[in-house]
Chains A and B, each alone.
Chain A
């Protein structure tokens, strides 16, 4: 399932060029996806630079600029919580927006609102979407921990009023796609591009034998449900692996630490810990140190893997405090999100209902490449 790290590094390098050389190539990539009928097929893979024809030509740029006609887009961005992951996303979005503005003259007005509680504090997000709808926003980018059915009603009202909804980083794979009332859903398949990757990494590292504990997100979280599907699949393919304990770490480091301490009390002979996100995995890493256990050194110790792709997590991988992490690609998520909205709203293209970006398995061997990729967007040319 995973490609060679060198191949991935090359992929990263080419993506950096994609960002570094401006939006043109990317825009051709996004324009290449325009023939998918609305509500239609699922697209896998990032936008990429697969377009042909007039890419890079001045005529093409001028033609697109003419279509844009200096239009200003009022955008609302509402993640489920303010966190490092969504900050990375926001910076990547700004980078991309500035590129499109520079090339095609599209203008952006950006508002951000996030619940000030935890992932379950969703009422505030519903109000936010309703407020943005009444203020006639063009675009709402949303990722929410709210109940699926509740949000579809909110989305439908917004879409009927002319405010177009785009979900990002949302586990839509759990629901029939025809029931999702959005223009498009940009993210990745949590089952096979996150949970399964983590499970398979543990299996490969431990050669299919060992005891595992899981530190998961809050009960009922869609991310948890989806990632567990993939993780459990990897476990079923490796009957020598046994999950000996699981606890709720609430997506927080201190709760992850406490949960891991509790589980290690009963399972001191554990071989691997799966943290459903990086913060919980880092908490588990502290618990391993506190319990006097050895972290994985390439031959022995406790394997710890998380998921997110945070710069702080990558620091931990460099320092040997995290064995690996599934980077769910905050940067491409944001770029694809902006591109899809630009295509759909400004160019009136038909965009895929689901667009999945690539995810990466980050280890000590390739961490520099992926960290550089994120750092490349952390100082956008313009903030909105």
Chain B
């Protein structure tokens, strides 16, 4: 029979596991996968996970950029439209005979340029982030509508673009979009954790006034955040054009909401100063996994919206539970430290 001390140590272990950032979502995802494996064995096949990865890269790339912006206490509502416009730039330039790599770079540059315009509206004109990026949402979408005149760009696909769009797998199991997403995730993760810019982003988002008083160039840091977000949107658009094989004027519509949702599920906060790249990965995975699973499980599209909402709510609640356990863990550590050495100072909070 277990003793109270075993109960207590098991409880502490669970508490310790659940206090890790993102662990709540991981637990939910694991449970979700187990349930789905029972409902439909097809869900756990390698081919399906390839599908999930290939479908999820667009939300992921946007969520990576969105997380950086949210950390800096901003929000970028324009990412879906910028993604569509960037796709249009690459597709159009290929049809005009520009060499393929330059056309792709031009698409990404278009995203970065839109990010720069967002930043200038916010830092130079003093517009709220929400308003400036909402305006860019309309401008980018409008430009694409006018440019395409309602008719999608087609006839730009080449074998190389099929590869970039993930239609052709490398060595039969991995696609270029997946490799690009992993690379982007690692690069941005290193930037946030190891660079001065990363520390400044958290500082600006956590308390802009304190950051300014500390000599941090707040406007410049926010500009970098929007450049990164625009670049991610441009990259996602260029890849999406290769996957969709046409660029419709509506391309990317609604992706901004998915990107924000993924970032928030992953632990970023609208109040700034919080967020991690691994969180964005988990958020994007959650969103893609739910849609994929419901299609496989044969849940009708009427029910899908309801089920998606409920699962996302559970994911966010689990993440909040993680925060609760984190605080409890700290309290326990403080209490333990005090009981050993009554003169000990409280444990320092570390940047998440």
The residues of A with any CB-CB pair to B shorter than 8 Å are 81-84, 86-87, 90, 114, 116-118, 216, 218-220, 245-248, 252-254, 257-259, 261-263, 265-266, 279, 282-283, 286, 289-291, 312, 315
Contacts and interface: CB of A to CB of B under 8 A. Distances in A.
Contacts of B150: 82-84, 86-87, 90, 114
Contacts of A290: 167
Contact of A266 (B244, B296, B300): B296
Interface of B: 40, 42-43, 45, 47-48, 51, 54-55, 138, 141-142, 145, 148-152, 154, 167, 240, 243-246, 248-251, 253-254, 291-292, 295-296, 298, 300-302, 304-305
Given A258-B55, A265-B42, A216 B149 contact: no
- In this complex, the member of A81, A218, A289 whose beta carbon has the largest number of chain B beta carbons within 10 angstroms is A81
B248 A259 contact: no
A269 to B, nearest CB: 12
Given A263-B296, A265-B42, A87 B149 contact: yes
Contacts of A262: 48, 51, 291-292, 295-296
30 contacts: A82-B249, A83-B150, A83-B151, A84-B150, A114-B150, A116-B138, A116-B142, A117-B253, A118-B253, A219-B302, A219-B304, A220-B302, A246-B301, A252-B244, A252-B250, A252-B251, A254-B240, A257-B244, A258-B51, A258-B55, A261-B51, A262-B296, A263-B295, A265-B42, A265-B47, A265-B48, A265-B51, A279-B246, A282-B246, A315-B154
Q: Which of A81, A116, A286 has the most CB of B within 10 A?
A: A116
A375 to B, nearest CB: 13
Contact of B145 (A82, A266, A291): A82
A51 B292 CA distance: 55
B152 A259 contact: no
B254 A266 contact: no
Contacts of A289: 167
A334 to B, nearest CB: 13
Contact of A279 (B42, B43, B54, B248): B248
B296 A116 contact: no
Contacts of B304: 219, 248
Interface centre among B243, B301, B304 (most CB of A within 10 A): B301
Contacts of A83: 150-152, 248-250
Given A83-B248, A253-B245, A263-B295, A218 B48 contact: no
Contacts of B45: 265
Contacts of B249: 82-83
Given A219-B300, A263-B296, 13 more contacts: A81-B250, A82-B249, A82-B250, A87-B151, A90-B150, A114-B150, A116-B138, A219-B301, A219-B304, A245-B298, A252-B250, A252-B251, A257-B244
Given A252-B248, A312-B152, A312-B246, A116 B141 contact: yes
A118 B240 CA distance: 18
Nearest to A85: B150
Interface class of chain A by DSSP: helix
A222 B161 CA distance: 36
B156 to A, nearest CB: 12
B266 to A, nearest CB: 21
A226 to B, nearest CB: 16
Contacts of A81: 250
Contacts of B253: 117-118
Nearest to B152: A84
Given A246-B301, A254-B243, A261-B51, A266 B40 contact: yes
What are the 9 tightest A-B residue pairs by CB atom distance, in nearest-first order? Answer: A262-B295, A248-B301, A82-B150, A87-B150, A219-B301, A266-B42, A254-B244, A247-B295, A265-B48
Contact of B250 (A118, A219, A283): A118
A116 B301 contact: no
A114 B142 CA distance: 11
A119 B246 CA distance: 19
A286 B245 contact: yes
B244 to A, nearest CB: 4
A245 B43 CA distance: 14
Nearest to A315: B154
B248 A216 contact: no
A83 B250 CA distance: 8
Nearest to B293: A262
Contacts of A254: 240, 243-244, 251
A282 B250 CA distance: 16
Contact of A219 (B141, B245, B246, B305): B305
Nearest to A253: B244
Contacts of A257: 243-244
Which of A87, A220, A315: most chain B CB closer than 10 A?
Answer: A87
A3 B245 CA distance: 33
A220 B302 CA distance: 7
A290 to B, nearest CB: 6
A263 B48 CA distance: 10
A286 B167 contact: yes
B296 A265 contact: yes
B68 to A, nearest CB: 24
B254 to A, nearest CB: 6
A120 to B, nearest CB: 9
B296 A253 contact: no
B243 to A, nearest CB: 6
Contacts of B246: 253, 279, 282, 312
Given A117-B253, A254-B240, A266-B40, A245 B305 contact: no
Contact of A216 (B240, B244, B298, B301): B301
A92 B48 CA distance: 44
